Chains A and B, each alone.
Chain A
Amino acid sequence: MTDVPDRTAPYVADFEAFARNGASGAPDWLKELREGAIGRFAELGFPTMKQEEWRFTSVAPIADQRFILAHAPGSPGPSGTPVGLPAPSDIERLCLGAGPRVVFVDGRHAPTLSTPADLVGGARAGSLAAALRTDAGGELARAHLARHARWRDSAFAALNTAFLADGAFVHVPADVTLERPLEVVFVSTGRARSEGPLVSHPRSLIVVERGARAAVVETYAALSDGVYWTNAVTEVVVGAGAWAELYRVQREGPHSFQVATTHSRQDRDSYLGLHVVTLGAALARHDIDAVLDGAGAELILNGLYLLGGAQHADHHTVIDHAQPHCASHEFFNGVLAERSHGVFTGRIIVRPGAQRTDSKQTNNNLLLSTEARADSQPQLEIYADDVKCTHGSTVGPIDQMQLYYLRSRGLTPEAARSILTYGFGAEILDRMRHPVVRDRLDRLVRERLA
């Protein structure tokens, strides 16, 4: 199961340098956490296709290259030197809403590009590194960081935890309502060093406390088409009776790699809408681990992946019904063109005693070329009897009857095909609630399909 050790060794060496210098100011609990995580990463090694979880995705393109930590100690970072920072207009066009934004360049906070967050009710949106330096932020981080992400099971989440330094930190105190969605933007410059391409490990923590309401838009994008690797982890905590939405747009560069994990934990009677749109990266893997940990919690999980060229995207979702009376509705659509390969694995677990669970999962794949490939594994694991669980999965080309109908109304084959393909994607967009974000995403999808 473990890979040849020399693949992980450079990262362990990097970690030692990182721990010696840049991370020395960290509190003890964080140091311990990082130490444990790098040990776990070395133990697990890069996954291989022999492992069930990675059956359809080879991470060899990542494991075979030597990626250099984007913010190695002593190197000039964008936060210190404004030289090389992207122009505000570049960031502007990546944003989906008009809300306050927090911007990260190659994994580090860029205050000059971020808008000052003037938030009501003591809510905070900023950099995790900054929050860790304050008492209140440190306490909050300590209570939640790495408590939800199962880094012990995943080499990539462990690596992220080992290099945990910066990322978004969003805290909405109890009963506070944020009207506008918060925007979190992770841009990669795609610049490489002489030793090799760069890797960043953004780590975000979103805490929406009891009875609060907030929406966050998370965007991952590139400013050039260089080779780089983003290894992200986001933890979302939704308190009792809270309402939260997280939009996640992945528009990484065409030669980049992204491995990411989104973990959420919901308390009693809370609502979480998680919307994932995957457009970029040569190789992308996104694990979504959602735990419904309080009675009456509701989860809406939508996903759309539009792939072309030789892109490979793997979505791995686990919805864990740990408590009774919870509902989850998952809907993932994939449009696969050219030689792209889409993988979807969705597991629903209903724990013993989680009675009255209502869970529905659907994965549909549209194949636009004979070279495209789709793998779909919907899975149910049920240990309670009074439940309603269904899943469905389809793979197929554009429906000939629908095509015929549109052509009979005078549309050209190309126009008919494009309408039907767009409609397939729109099915997911229509399930998103925020009108402004939805419109912007709709435009993105149209551009992509044009």
Chain B
Amino acid sequence: MSSGIEAQVLQPYKYGFVTDIESETVPPGLSEDVIRLISEKKGEPAWMVDWRLKAYRNWLKSPEPHWANVQYGPIDYQAISYYAAPKQRPKLDSLEQVDPKLLETFEKLGIPIEERKRLAGVAVDAVFDSVSVATTFREELKKHGVIFCAISDAIREYPELVQQYLGSVVPYNDNFFAALNSAVFTDGSFVYVPKGVRCPMELSTYFRINAESTGQFERTLIVADEGSYVSYLEGCSAPVRDENQLHAAVVELVALDRATIKYSTIQNWYPGDEEGRGGIYNFVTKRGACRGRSSKISWTQVETGSAITWKYPGCILQGDDSIGEFYSVAVTNHRQQADTGTKMIHMGKNTRSTIVSKGISAGRGQNTYRGLVKILKGAEHARNYSQCDSMLIGDRCGAHTFPYIDVRNSSAIMEHEASTSKIGEDQIFYAKQRGLSAEDAVSMIVNGFCKEVFKELPMEFAVEAQRLLGISLEGSVG
């Protein structure tokens, strides 16, 4: 490919600005006192504090995992501040009371918090550092019985629901980062869709890290009761900084009989600069439980940001005839590293799962697909289809595939396919001779490569994802 493209200047990370806002930060460090302090700030009941402390004690005992195919220096957990919130909070009644700087921030990020600017009927929960700033359309949704609010509000307002489901999919002792999250999580969204309700609009949470030396530890819990449907979107970004910031989230989904949850993520944390300085460590535990018969959970993710991604959204297919899906596009450029994939655990009869993973590596990026398909003894006639394709752009990047397949039922059918290739010079040549620039040709080929995943995204997000992909890969062709 021509050197002209090689010389192309890299477009800077667009969301790297810092909002100058006075914030209240807990001094760095983690101890039982810090956890009690966070809990107190949130006005949490006693059972919540106990649960957090239990998680913390467990975290102290558990070893940090190092099996992922990523490299990073040791993280000093005592140097992180576990709580940061913009000042002037106590109880916001309406958006007018929100600091205009915050509104401006989200405006700049393209997130409509003001309801009059309703964007195709998407309800948004905006999380800024450790707290939820605003949740739109709460009243409108309430009319349908749908609860959509910050999880800290839910703990106060719907304690029975939260207590019943929190930690039921990802227990506090699940893994090192889940334990850490359970101990210190601050905000995130809570969604409950009652029986038979089809949620009238897309729900969305936007996470923004702003403060320095903090980590973000959000927790999202979505419960879809019998026969309900909900589509949830998640987006995120952070300022450009030389330090590495930790983001350790936990997402739990519960789908009861015939319920469907569609969960889409566009992850665009700051990826660090060309030399790998700075960027977010995105160590996330996401899991959904298809508890009911014929329930369905579908994960779609577009991972373009973060210095390091460690993320395996999974489905536990407990109910008979339940369905799990995982569609993923992961892009690593410069020195980004991603170790991502999914876990599909088949327990119920006739359970089905589909995995489509597309990895794109450029620059010195390392991209790993790691997935588990486990078909247990009782999962009669379970079916899995997995496809993992990798595309390499440049000769200094890497693409790796580590699927784990464990089948214990002979009536189950499991298929896995993977391929690795580079963009063909003949393809580029063809596109160029039809008058396209090399850059456009690459973008077209890459978008075609990811089409199967993009078509799973809600429309506005699909457009956003295509644009993001273009930005992430710019300057990498050569």
| B372 nearest CB across to chain A (Å) | 10
Q: Mark B93-129, 1 if CB is under 8 A from A, else 0.
A: 0000000000000000000000000000000000000
The answer to whether B416 and A367 touch across the interface, beta carbons within 8 angstroms, is no
Return B181 CB to nearest CB of chain A, in Å: 24
Q: How many inter-chain contacts with C-beta < 8 Å in the A-B complex? A: 114
Please tell me if the beta carbons of B403 and A378 are within 8 angstroms of each other in the complex.
yes
Q: How far is the CB of B425 from chain A (nearest CB, A)?
A: 9
Q: Which residues of chain B are near A390, meaning CB under 8 Å?
A: 417-420
A385 touches B410 (CB 8 A): no
* Interface 9-mer from A27-35, A84-92, A123-131, A393-401: A393-401
A375 adjacent to B406 (CB under 8 Å): yes
- The contact size tier of chain A is 35 or more
Q: A79 at the A/B interface (Cβ < 8 Å)?
A: no
Which of B160-168, B306-314, B394-402 forms part of the interface with chain A?
A: B394-402
Query: What's the least CB distance linking B259 to chain A, in Å?
Result: 29
Interface size class of B (residues with CB under 8 A): 35 or more
A374 to B410, CA, bound (A): 9
B415 sits at the interface (CB 8 A): yes
* Least distance between B403 CB and chain A CB atoms (Å): 6
* B422 contact set on A, CB distance < 8 A: 385-387
Given A355-B395, A373-B408, A394-B414, the answer on whether A389 and B420 have CB atoms closer than 8 Å is: yes
On whether the beta carbons of A370 and B411 are closer than 8 Å, the reply is: yes
Whole-angstrom distance between the alpha carbons of A381 and B402 in the complex? 8
A369 interface hit (Cβ, 8 Å): yes
In the bound complex, CA of A369 to CA of B420 (Å): 34
Nearest Cβ distance between residue B434 and chain A, in whole angstroms? Answer: 24
Residues of A within 8 A of B416 (CB): 376, 378, 391-394
Is B412's beta carbon under 8 Å from chain A?
Answer: yes
Task: Enumerate A36-57 residues with CB–CB distance to B below 8 Å.
Answer: 52, 56
* B402 and chain A: residue at smallest CB distance: A379
- Bound CA–CA A384/B399 (angstroms): 9
Q: Is B51 an interface residue (CB 8 A)?
A: no
Question: Quick check: is A368 within 8 A (CB to CB) of the other chain?
Answer: yes
A270 at the interface (CB under 8 A from B): no
Contact B395 A377 (CB under 8 A): no
The CA-CA distance from A196 to B408 in the complex, in Å, is: 35
Q: How far is the CA of A372 from the CA of B409 in the complex (A)?
A: 7
Contact A393 B406 (CB under 8 A): no
Query: Contact mask A316-352 → B, CB, 8 Å, 1/0?
Result: 0000000000000000000000000000000000001
B413 to chain A, nearest CB (A): 4
A380 within 8 A of B: yes
Q: Judging by beta carbons under 8 Å apart, are B410 and A372 in contact?
A: yes
Q: B418 near A367 (CB under 8 angstroms)?
A: no
| Chain A CB within 8 A of B393 CB | yes
Residues of the B chain whose Cβ atoms lie less than 8 Å from the Cβ of A56: 406
Residues of B with C-beta under 8 A to A353: 395
The residue in chain A whose Cβ has the minimal distance to the Cβ of B397 is: A385
B158 at the interface (CB under 8 A from A): no
Alpha-carbon separation in the docked complex, A114 to B417 (Å): 46
**Would you call B421 an interface residue if the criterion is a C-beta within 8 Å of the partner chain's C-beta atoms?**
yes
Point out the residues of chain B lying under 8 angstroms from A389, CB to CB. Answer: 419-421
Interface hits, A380-438 → B, CB 8 Å: 380-397
Q: Which chain A residue lies CB-closest to B372?
A: A377
> Which residues from chain B contact A367 at a C-beta distance below 8 Å?
407, 409-410, 412
* B67, CB-defined interface residue at 8 Å: yes
Give the CA-CA distance A397 to B67 in the complex, in Å.
33
Q: Are B400 and A382 in contact (CB under 8 A)?
A: yes
| A378 x B415 contact (CB < 8 A) | no
Measured CB to CB, the nearest residue on chain A to B421 is A388
Q: Cβ of B81 < 8 Å from any Cβ of A?
A: no
Q: Does B392 contact A (CB under 8 A)?
A: yes
CB within 8 Å of A: which of B51-98?
Answer: 67
Among A375, A379, A394, contact of B400 (Cβ-Cβ < 8 Å): A379
CB of B377 within 8 Å of the partner chain: yes
Query: Are A381 and B398 touching (Cβ within 8 A)?
Result: yes
Interface check A365, CB cutoff 8 A: yes
Closest A-chain residue to B411, C-beta based?
A397
Among B408, B414, B417, contact of A396 (Cβ-Cβ < 8 Å): B414
Inter-chain contacts of B67 with A (CB < 8 A) = 52
Closest to A365 in B: B407
Would you call B7 an interface residue if the criterion is a C-beta within 8 Å of the partner chain's C-beta atoms?
Answer: no
Q: Are A395 and B420 neighbours in the complex by a CB distance under 8 Å?
A: no
Judged by a CB distance under 8 angstroms, whether B304 is at the interface is no
The answer on a CB contact under 8 Å between B407 and A385 is no
Contact A380 B399 (CB under 8 A): yes
Q: Known: A391-B418, A396-B412, A396-B413. Contact between A374 and B407, CB under 8 A?
A: yes
Is residue B405 contacting chain A, with contact meaning CB distance below 8 A?
A: yes
List, in ascending order, chain A residues with CB within 8 A of B393's CB.
385
In whole angstroms, how far apart are the Cα atoms of A415 and B125 in the complex?
63
Chain A contacts of B398 at CB under 8 A? 381-383
Q: Are B417 and A384 in contact (CB under 8 A)?
A: no
Closest to A384 in B: B395
Q: Which residues of B contact A382 (CB under 8 A)?
A: 390, 392, 398-400, 420
Is B430 an interface residue, CB under 8 A from the partner? Answer: no
The residue in A56, A378, A387 that gathers the most chain B C-beta atoms within 10 A of its C-beta is A378
B400 touches A381 (CB 8 A): yes
- The residue on A at minimum CB distance from B383 is A396
Chain B residue nearest to A367 in the complex (CB): B410
Which residue on chain B has the smallest CB distance to residue A394?
Answer: B415
Q: Is the CB of B407 within 8 A of A373?
A: yes
How far is B267's CA from A267's CA once the two chains are assembled, in angstroms? 46
- Which chain B positions have C-beta within 8 A of A352? 395-396
How long is the Cα–Cα vector from A352 to B397 in the complex, in angstroms?
9
List A contacts of B421 (CB < 8 A).
387-389
Quick one: given A380-B420, A386-B422, A394-B414, are A370 and B407 in contact (CB under 8 Å)?
no
**In the complex, residue of chain B having the shortest beta-carbon distance to the beta carbon of A374:** B407
Partner of A385, one of B395, B401, B402, B419: B395
Q: How near does chain B come to A368, taking the closest CB pair, in angstroms?
A: 7
For the complex, what is the distance from the CA of A391 to the CA of B400, rounded to whole Å? Answer: 12
- Which of A365, A369, A371, A380 makes the CB contact (< 8 A) with B401? A380
For B390, list chain A residues within 8 Å (CB).
Answer: 380, 382
Knowing A52-B67, A380-B399, A382-B390 are in contact, say whether A370-B409 is a contact too (CB < 8 A): yes
Within 8 A of B (CB), among A204-229: none
B320 to chain A: closest CB distance in Å?
A: 17
Minimum C-beta distance from B358 to chain A (A): 14
**C-alpha gap A388/B398 in the complex (Å):** 13
A366 to B416 alpha-carbon distance, docked (Å): 14
Tell me the residues in window 419-463 of chain B with beta carbons closer than 8 Å to chain A beta carbons: 419-422
Check if A369 sits within 8 Å of B410, measured CB to CB.
Answer: yes
Q: Closest CB-CB distance, A184 to chain B, in whole Å?
A: 34
Chain B nearest CB: distance from A6 CB in Å? 26
From B400, B403, B412, A393 is in contact (CB under 8 Å) with B403
B417 and A380 form a contact (CB under 8 A): no
**Cα A375 to Cα B417 with chains together (Å):** 15
Closest residue to A380 on the B side, CB-wise? B401
Q: How far is the CA of A92 from the CA of B410 in the complex (A)?
A: 38
Interfacial chain B residues near A384, Cβ < 8 Å? 392, 395
Q: How far is the CB of A417 from chain B (nearest CB, A)?
A: 12
- Closest-CB distance, B391 to chain A (whole angstroms): 9
Q: How far is the CA of A380 from the CA of B413 in the complex (A)?
A: 22
* CB neighbours of B411 from chain A (8 A): 370, 397
B242 vs chain A, min Cβ distance (A): 28
Q: Indicate if the CB atoms of B405 and A395 lie closer than 8 Å.
A: yes
Starting from the known contacts A377-B403, A385-B392, A385-B422, 7 additional A-B residue pairs (CB-CB under 8 Å) come to: A370-B411, A375-B404, A380-B418, A383-B398, A387-B392, A392-B416, A392-B417
For the complex of A and B, the 10 pairs showing the least CB-CB separation, nearest first, are A367-B410, A385-B392, A396-B413, A395-B407, A376-B405, A380-B401, A393-B416, A389-B420, A395-B414, A390-B419
Interface set of B (CB-CB < 8 Å, partner A): 67, 375, 377, 390, 392-422
Q: Could you show 15 A-B contacts with beta carbons less than 8 Å apart?
A: A52-B67, A370-B409, A373-B406, A374-B405, A375-B406, A377-B404, A377-B405, A379-B401, A381-B400, A385-B392, A387-B421, A390-B417, A393-B405, A394-B415, A396-B413
